[in-house]
Structure 1
């Protein structure tokens, strides 16, 4: 007996091609609002109704992005930022998953570890910067450590909460079928927490992109955060907005990859979304 058979009454239905096409159109509809706002702002600046000096119109921002891409600067900065996020995300995700599983599954570990971790979670991220610079220097290690701290806590909380909220009836069904402890974990407990775990991973990845800004602003020679600071120091608002847009696109692509990787593991779910 598998966890799918225990946790669900029936397998999730296949999505019809027409429904898939409808969902694709809905995703494209998400571009309508930013495009409309960009067109409106462009029109306001061109007609002289708004000043585009501090908030450049899309045409100027697009030209800046094109110039950064053509010169190779955008790829260099984006690659540096992405490497830092992935390194910090990997460390924080592993640590958060392991400690979350321990505190969620073992009352002794929860009593010993959770109060300290909850207290550390309340510390502002920027407060870690001086300490990490003293410990690791001003180079990559301190930046990756700061990102890992930001990623760790949402994943830790998500995993621990998912384990603590497992439906008791599912565990009892596993015991009725005399599953061993290992089989109980593999067939019942692990599938039960997978949806919440992937949600926690997405939250941690989003915070990783937020923390990389602080990491790169505190001292970096490349990265999208450095591009933000460079635009501010040189008085180039178009460069700042171009860096912000690059952050948004890079973060969305990374989140999309994570969702795509999670989809095969969650195919067994029969959720309301599949009926819409």
Structure 2
């Protein structure tokens, strides 16, 4: 069934009283609420706050994940020191850590960004590490035979060779980052889309809740599309 057909049936059920408006608002009511939130600036402001948190957490967690992957992938000592703790930490239900982070860091931005960074770190770490380990050893031997320094090998051989896997990890990290910000903003936050949804839940405003969820979905799809575009450009040689 097409989205248009679903929306039509949904609207008819709401108009006919089959669906209680207190349980689920109609598509028309949701669209009207979204327009009101856009016009009064609420939706734009809260969306920008959530986006900033995701980008900051992704930048921090992603950078740490890639750096640790390079160290573990290029050094046996680094692998022994880094990989076991990372494998142990990634099994923790990180979305359940928000209460602990609030206890440690308070109710400011730090616990929210930390949760997002933690979620974004592991996919990039695992995929980048897998990409480095998958590089043909003959390529590395050729780089050494050309007297490339360690830094030059990393820049011209290791990172380009691991790039396809790293970009896969980036897409996964983005998905987890958006899930993390939802949890972070619905627990102990008074700004952001998640906080808006949380406040709407208290007043049984299902139209606002659906608008917030729709914004999350659009932002997630948009950021994923941007990464896919970068992937096509960066990996054009694979075609």
Tell whether the structures are fold-level matches, with TM greater than 0.5: yes
> What does 1:1-276 align with in structure 2 at a 5 Å threshold?
33-171=2-140, 174=143, 178=146, 180-181=148-149, 182-270=151-239
Distance in structure 2 (CA, Å) of the matches to 1:36 and 1:155? 39
Deviations 1:205-251 (A, max 9, x none): 11111000111111111111011111111011111111000101111
Q: CA deviation at 1:200?
A: 0.6
Q: CA deviation at 1:254?
A: 1.9
Distance in structure 2 (CA, Å) of the matches to 1:240 and 1:96? 33
Distance in structure 1 (CA, Å) of the matches to 2:178 and 2:108? 18
Q: CA deviation at 1:187?
A: 3.5
Distance in structure 2 (CA, Å) of the matches to 1:212 and 1:224? 9
Q: Is the 8 A contact 2:183 2:194 kept in 1?
A: yes
Partner of 2:237: helix, strand, or coil? Answer: coil
TM-score (norm 2): 0.90
Q: CA deviation at 1:263?
A: 3.4
Partner of 1:203: helix, strand, or coil? Answer: helix
Distance in structure 2 (CA, Å) of the matches to 1:251 and 1:214? 15
Q: CA deviation at 1:258?
A: 2.7
Higher relative contact order (CA 8 A, sep 6+): 1
Partner of 2:238: helix, strand, or coil? Answer: coil
Distance in structure 1 (CA, Å) of the matches to 2:176 and 2:45? 22
> Mind listing any 5+ residue stretches in structure 2 that lack a counterpart?
none
Partner of 1:268: helix, strand, or coil? Answer: helix
The size of the alignment, in residue pairs, is: 238
TM-score (norm 1): 0.79
> Mind listing any 5+ residue stretches in structure 1 that lack a counterpart?
1-31, 271-276
Q: CA deviation at 1:64?
A: 1.2
Deviations 1:150-182 (A, max 9, x none): 111111111111111223354455567x36245
**Root-mean-square deviation over aligned CA pairs:** 2.1
Match in the other structure for 1:17: none
